[in-house]
């Protein structure tokens, strides 16, 4: 099942973005990575720019999304257009991605995007993000769970396509109208 | 600003706001929830009105971020609207714990910001429980007294409903909007109910089934409780904004600690603290306390003086007593077919058939057919140790076949169920916090069992495997705090009179569910709104010298 621009728009509409973000029109410069949000990794040499964040997030999505979905890169990129908006949340994503990348380079001597999908899965589990509860100011595992893994899962399963994978075309968080609840199963 | 954790700085945004008192105010209202907002809106065109609220003014642009808080597992329900902390500290001292900070929102809009938006009228017998049911007490007003105000309130809030409920009290005109269509799962329930001779009917929603009052129709976000990002669900910011448009002044983060009075038993000023540490006195000719079922009695108790040593308006000794909530009764399970749940966050069918069977031993109760049984897939996805295909498999296994019913049950007012002041604990302004002593009698608990019997019978007729029953041991409050400044014609038996004016202070009214002498089993907000509109009429008449 292919994720579409509509899905990315819906995911943004569901969980918020700075107004006026046009999907598909990406910023090509990264006006400073900022100082990082609360809980930004100490000692991170350099926070990734927007393109690098998108690349890592899309690569991670390939590991945490079901095999049935396609169109991940465009979906994640479009979604992040609205999230990397200079907010504390956007900077939290950037910092968590930095930690994930730092760990990948340390353990595998390669960036996340260059790892086989199985190794990305192993990386996330090795960090403890599978058993961690999300926490925006917690441990590395908790922050990666919050800003990376759950960020991606929230975007997917609050979108129409993600919902349809489960059997609900109007999932919670998606403004899918007040008619679908009256309809029987397809 | 995106992201759930980007919230929480409402205070900083409002540091440069002028929170000084309004000169020559006619009316001072304490509380910017639905009651206070409606009174303010009604009076603002002809009177100088000021509204003080202890909480912040929330930015509408943050609603999606609040919705994200509602979905993400890191955040608890009170976090969605920033409830909690020293400002909202409280104590429990009764036989049952009461989760107060799950049950309210402090700020402009009040608890309508997180309510579900169900708006039924009380039944005629609810106003005469003592004489008709042999338990509780009679209200000093009847359904007929409130009937035109109910219609007015339905127009103000914007209610979608239909006249297909044979058990509802008489009404004079259709609801302002057509009812929401029944859900797919309603149609499944309907077959089972028909077999059992149980009637289903629509329910009135304070939610737009079509565009209304410059607000959008419901767009199906599915998170009505605790936040509607679209504005399709009514909340009291509608009337706050309207009142401000007519000239009212609304001061947020203005925590009223005491009401002052003179030797002639007139309230003279509301003394409030602002974030800058300053204390102010808002004087006015009339005062309306509209701070809900807990903070209203607390404010009166905090306002004790030499002349009123047990608290303001408390010569009866009943301020804080008769604290009530509705008790939840429910049951649910799964079918072997899809049930299409969690598309929307409200319900569309109910059953009031058993409501007026109430007597001394059985409380009035109503039944609800849920459209949001079982887990929401997106919430499930964020908790667990899996992702990828195993997660999708878990979501498919967990979602799709659930059904559930809920119900609300009246509790009898008891003097020992009450809100008092804590002895040793104070809030951020040094005022004693509320101490809640909530008790529930056997009539309510027995009635929960009766409701459960019907719910289980319906579910079994439906072919469901019943997986849970919320009975007397698992019940909890519906977050409808009521009864703590009860209405009575007799100054020895109540705090306010039939006009909701305090017996002891001639220029002080209470607009709140705290005036309910009994609670019925219907969600209280429409009655709160109707009473508030009635209070506004009385205040206006007295200020105008009528």
Structure confidence by residue, pLDDT tens digits, A165-175: 999 999 999 99
B480 is catalytic: yes
Share of chain B above pLDDT 90, in %: 96
Q: Which residue stretches of B87-235 are H helix?
A: 129-133, 143-157, 184-196
DSSP conformational letter for B463: T
Nearest CA in chain B to A38: B5
CB contact under 8 A, B74 and A134: yes
A63 at B interface, C-beta within 8 A = yes
How confident is the model at residue B479, as a pLDDT?
98
Mean pLDDT of the B212-238 span: 97
How confident is the model at residue B94, as a pLDDT?
85
How confident is the model at residue B2, as a pLDDT?
67
Q: Which residue stretches of B72-183 are H helix?
A: 77-80, 129-133, 143-157
Nearest CA in chain A to B371: A181
How confident is the model at residue A28, as a pLDDT?
31
Listed by start position, the domains of chain A span 5-16+37-171
Q: What's the pLDDT tens digit per position in B73-95?
A: 999 999 999 999 999 999 999 88
Pick the CATH number of B1-137+224-325+484-546 from 3.50.50.60, 3.10.450.710, 3.40.1160.10, 3.60.130.10: 3.50.50.60
| Cα B201 from Cα B190, distance rounded (Å) | 10
Average pLDDT, chain A: 85
The DSSP element (H or E) to which B52 belongs, if any, is strand B49-52
Mean pLDDT of the A68-92 span: 93
| Cα A80 from Cα B219, distance rounded (Å) | 24
| Cα B303 from Cα B314, distance rounded (Å) | 10
Q: What's the pLDDT tens digit per position in B35-57?
A: 999 999 999 999 999 999 999 99
Nearest Cβ partner of B221 from A166, A175, A183? A175
How confident is the model at residue A11, as a pLDDT?
79
| Cα A9 from Cα B327, distance rounded (Å) | 41
Mean pLDDT of the B445-455 span: 98
How confident is the model at residue B8, as a pLDDT?
62
Q: Which residues in B lie closer than 8 A to residue A154 (C-beta atoms)?
A: 68, 71-72, 378, 381-382
Q: CB within 8 A of B309, min separation 6: which ones?
A: none
Q: Is the pLDDT of residue B6 over 80?
A: no
CB contact under 8 A, B378 and A173: yes
How confident is the model at residue B401, as a pLDDT?
97
Mean pLDDT of the A112-140 span: 97
How confident is the model at residue B25, as a pLDDT?
98
DSSP conformational letter for B187: H
B239, B402, B480, B503: which is the annotated catalytic residue? B480
CB contact under 8 A, B6 and A88: yes
Q: Is the pLDDT of residue B282 over 70?
A: yes
Q: Is the pLDDT of residue B367 over 70?
A: yes
* Parallel/antiparallel/unpaired status of strands B201-202 and B349-351: antiparallel
Q: Which residues in A lie closer than 8 A to residue B224 (C-beta atoms)?
A: none
How confident is the model at residue B51, as a pLDDT?
98
| Cα B172 from Cα B188, distance rounded (Å) | 32
Residues 143-162, chain A: which have Cβ within 8 Å of B? 146, 149-150, 153-154, 156-158, 162
Q: CB within 8 A of A174, min separation 6: which ones?
A: A10, A11, A13, A14, A158, A159, A160, A163, B220, B221, B222
Residues 212-241, chain B: which have Cβ within 8 Å of A? 217-223, 229-230
Q: Which residues in B lie closer than 8 A to residue A121 (C-beta atoms)?
A: 388
How confident is the model at residue B274, as a pLDDT?
96
ipTM for the predicted complex: 0.94
Mean pLDDT of the A146-162 span: 97
| Dihedral, B110, B114, B116, B117 alpha carbons, nearest 10 | 30
Mean pLDDT of the B14-23 span: 88
3-state secondary structure of B218: coil
How confident is the model at residue B330, as a pLDDT?
98
Nearest CA-CA distance, residue B215 and chain A, Å: 15
Q: What's the pLDDT tens digit per position in B143-159?
A: 999 999 999 999 999 99
Average pLDDT, chain B: 96
Mean pLDDT of the B294-317 span: 98
Q: Is the pLDDT of residue B167 over 80?
A: yes
Q: What's the pLDDT tens digit per position in A11-35?
A: 777 766 533 233 333 333 333 333 3
Q: Residue A42: is it exposed, middle or buried by C-beta count within 10 angstroms (0-12/13-18/19+)? A: exposed
* Parallel/antiparallel/unpaired status of strands B160-161 and B177-178: parallel
Q: Which residues pair with residue B215 across a beta bridge?
A: B212
CB contact under 8 A, B2 and A90: yes
How confident is the model at residue B172, as a pLDDT?
87
Share of chain A above pLDDT 90, in %: 73
Structure tokens at B170: 């008489």
| Cα A93 from Cα A50, distance rounded (Å) | 10
Mean pLDDT of the B466-494 span: 98
CB contact under 8 A, A173 and B67: yes
Q: Which residues in A lie closer than 8 A to residue B388 (C-beta atoms)?
A: 63-67, 121
Nearest CA-CA distance, residue B461 and chain A, Å: 20
The Cα angle at residue B514 between residues B538 and B316, in degrees rounded to 5: 85
């Amino acid at each position: 099942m292919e994720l579409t621009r509509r899905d990315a728009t819906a995911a943004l509409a569901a969980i918020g973005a700075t107004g006026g973000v046009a999907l598909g029109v990406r910023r090509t410069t990264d006006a400073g990575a900022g100082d990082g949000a609360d809980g930004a990794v100490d000692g991170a040499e350099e926070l990734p720019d927007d393109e690098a964040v998108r690349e890592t997030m899309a690569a991670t999505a390939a590991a945490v999304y079901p095999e049935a979905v396609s169109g991940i890169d465009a979906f994640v990129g479009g979604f992040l257009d609205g999230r990397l908006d200079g907010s504390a949340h956007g900077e939290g994503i950037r910092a968590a991605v930095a930690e994930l990348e730092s760990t990948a380079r340390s353990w595998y001597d390669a960036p996340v995007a260059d790892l086989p999908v199985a190794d990305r899965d192993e990386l996330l589990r090795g960090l403890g993000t599978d058993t961690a509860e999300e926490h925006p100011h917690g441990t590395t595992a908790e922050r990666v769970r919050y800003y990376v893994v759950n960020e991606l899962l929230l975007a997917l399963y609050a979108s129409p396509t993600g919902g349809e994978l489960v059997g609900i075309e109007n999932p919670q968080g998606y403004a899918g109208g007040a008619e679908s609840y009256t309809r029987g199963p397809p | 600003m995106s992201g759930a954790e980007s919230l929480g700085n409402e205070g900083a945004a409002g540091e440069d706001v002028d929170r000084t008192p309004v000169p020559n105010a006619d009316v001072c209202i304490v509380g910017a929830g639905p009651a206070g907002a409606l009174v303010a809106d009604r009076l603002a065109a002809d009177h100088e009105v000021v509204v003080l609220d202890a909480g912040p003014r929330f930015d509408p642009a943050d609603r999606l971020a609040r919705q994200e808080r509602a979905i993400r597992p890191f955040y608890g329900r009170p976090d969605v609207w920033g409830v909690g902390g020293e400002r909202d500290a409280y104590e429990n001292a009764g036989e049952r714990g009461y989760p107060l900070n799950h049950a309210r929102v402090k700020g402009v809009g009040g608890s309508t910001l997180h309510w579900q938006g169900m708006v039924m009228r009380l039944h005629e017998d609810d106003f005469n429980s003592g004489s008709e049911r042999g338990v509780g007490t009679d209200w000093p007003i009847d359904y007929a007294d409130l009937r035109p105000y109910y219609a007015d309130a339905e127009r103000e809030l914007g209610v979608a409903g239909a006249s297909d409920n044979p058990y509802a009290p008489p009404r004079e005109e259709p609801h302002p909007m057509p009812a929401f269509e029944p859900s797919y799962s309603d149609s499944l329930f309907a077959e089972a109910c028909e077999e059992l001779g149980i009637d289903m009917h629509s329910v009135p929603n304070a939610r737009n089934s079509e565009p209304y009052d410059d607000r959008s129709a419901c767009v199906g976000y599915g998170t009505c409780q605790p936040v509607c990002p679209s504005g399709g669900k009514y909340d009291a910011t509608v009337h706050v904004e309207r009142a401000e448009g007519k000239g009212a002044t609304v001061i947020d983060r203005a925590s009223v600690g005491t009401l002052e009075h003179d030797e002639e038993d007139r309230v003279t000023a509301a003394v409030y603290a602002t974030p800058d540490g300053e204390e102010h006195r808002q004087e006015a000719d009339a005062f309306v306390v509209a701070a809900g079922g807990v903070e209203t009695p607390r404010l009166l108790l905090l306002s004790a003086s030499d002349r009123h040593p047990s608290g303001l308006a408390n010569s009866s000794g009943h301020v804080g007593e008769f604290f009530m909530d509705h008790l939840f009764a429910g049951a649910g399970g799964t079918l072997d077919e899809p049930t299409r749940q969690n598309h929307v966050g409200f319900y569309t069918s109910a059953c009031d058939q058993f409501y007026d069977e109430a007597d001394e031993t059985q409380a009035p109760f109503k039944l609800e057919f849920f459209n949001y049984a079982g887990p929401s897939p997106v919430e499930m996805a964020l908790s667990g140790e899996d992702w990828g295909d195993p997660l999708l498999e878990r979501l498919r296994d967990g979602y799709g076949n659930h059904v559930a019913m809920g119900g609300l049950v009246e509790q009898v007012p008891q003097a020992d169920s009450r809100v008092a002041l804590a002895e040793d604990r104070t809030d951020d302004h040094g005022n004693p916090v509320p101490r809640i002593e909530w008790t529930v009698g056997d009539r309510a608990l027995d009635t929960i069992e009766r409701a459960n019997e019907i719910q289980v019978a319906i579910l079994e007729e439906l072919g469901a495997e019943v997986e849970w029953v919320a009975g007397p041991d698992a019940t909890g409050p519906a977050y409808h705090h009521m009864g703590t400044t009860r209405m009575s014609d007799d100054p020895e038996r109540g705090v306010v009179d039939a006009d909701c004016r305090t017996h002891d202070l001639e220029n002080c009214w209470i607009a709140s569910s705290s005036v309910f002498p009994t609670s019925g089993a219907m969600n209280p907000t429409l009655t709160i709104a109707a009473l508030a509109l009635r209070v506004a009429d009385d205040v206006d008449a007295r200020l105008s010298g009528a």
